[in-house]
């Protein structure tokens, strides 16, 4: 359990929303698909398949089937191969040539893409998390749209997971993070945990053993 973050539940998100003064928010789904898969071995784990579908394609479908306004995929390692398995999806692509310097570089590229598109918020989903439900992404959208929080991570049984939402006020901070921690520090400064019944938010594929276990 993450005691650093205030926990909220689904009932809180579904309480009557405050009156909106201008427009429904534009929320960009950012698919983080640039990593080098160092713990997986020689193969790119994002291209490994479960039930005949590459992990990254399953993660992309999670975002596309949700209520995000659009989806951006951040590519780096074996970018051509990853882009090829997503070619028939309505996804924009952003290159991250610095992916070897850690997850923060992909978060920065995604935040800049969201900011350049005048997004009100961005939801970040790692490409190695193939079991997240689209309904969970929608909960994060509702959390932001209802003014419940402008930084929130999906959680399962008190364990912080992914995806994670950040409002536009946090984009500059996300662009300034370093190393392999993504937006963790930004989240801990001003975020909440959104409890869900979606075990997929804490199920990532890092190793061959992880893949065989879920198969």
DSSP-derived letter for residue 15 is: S
In a domain, 127, yes or no: yes
Domain count along the chain: 1
Query: pTM surpassing 0.75?
Result: yes
Cα separation, 76 vs 91, whole angstroms? 15
Residue 136's CATH number? 3.90.550.10
Residue 131: inside a domain: yes
Domain assignment present for residue 102? The answer is yes
The answer to whether residue 12 is domain-embedded is no
152 in any annotated domain: yes
Q: Specify if 11 maps to a domain.
A: no
Per-residue tokens: 81: 């191969």
Model pLDDT for residues 69-78, shown as the tens digit of each residue: 999 999 999 9
- CA distances (Å), origin 18, targets 48, 123, 142, 185, 209: 43, 21, 12, 29, 46
Position 34 in a domain: yes
Q: Categorize the per-residue pLDDT at 14 as very low, low, confident or very high, splitting at 50, 70 and 90.
A: low
Residue 37 maps to a domain: yes
Q: Which helix (H) or strand (E) holds 202?
A: none
**pLDDT tens digits, residue range 171-210?**
999 999 887 777 888 888 879 999 999 999 999 887 777 7
Which tens digit of pLDDT belongs to each residue from 120-176?
999 999 999 999 999 999 999 999 999 999 999 999 998 999 999 999 999 999 999
Range of the domain at 190: 25-214
* Helices of type H across the chain: 10-13, 55-64, 79-85, 103-116, 134-145, 171-175, 184-190, 208-214
């Amino acid at each position: 359990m993450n005691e650093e973050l205030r926990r909220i539940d689904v009932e809180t998100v579904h309480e009557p929303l405050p009156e909106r003064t201008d427009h429904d928010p534009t929320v960009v789904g950012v698919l983080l698909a640039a990593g080098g898969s160092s713990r997986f071995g020689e193969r790119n784990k994002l291209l490994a398949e479960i039930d005949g579908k590459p992990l990254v394609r399953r993660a992309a479908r999670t975002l596309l089937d949700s209520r995000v306004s659009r989806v951006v995929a951040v590519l780096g390692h074996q970018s051509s191969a990853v882009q090829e398995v997503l070619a028939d999806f309505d996804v924009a692509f952003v290159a991250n040539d610095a992916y070897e310097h850690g997850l923060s570089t992909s978060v920065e590229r995604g935040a800049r893409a969201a900011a350049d598109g005048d997004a009100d918020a961005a939801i970040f989903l790692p490409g190695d998390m193939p079991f997240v439900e689209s309904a969970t992404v929608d909960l994060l959208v509702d959390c932001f749209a209802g003014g419940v929080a402008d930084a929130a991570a999906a959680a399962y049984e008190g364990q912080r997971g992914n995806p994670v939402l950040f409002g536009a006020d946090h984009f500059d901070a996300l662009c300034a993070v370093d190393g392999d921690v993504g937006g963790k520090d930004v989240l801990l400064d001003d975020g909440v945990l959104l409890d869900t019944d979606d075990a997929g938010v804490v199920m990532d594929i890092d190793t061959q053993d992880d893949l065989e276990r879920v198969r």
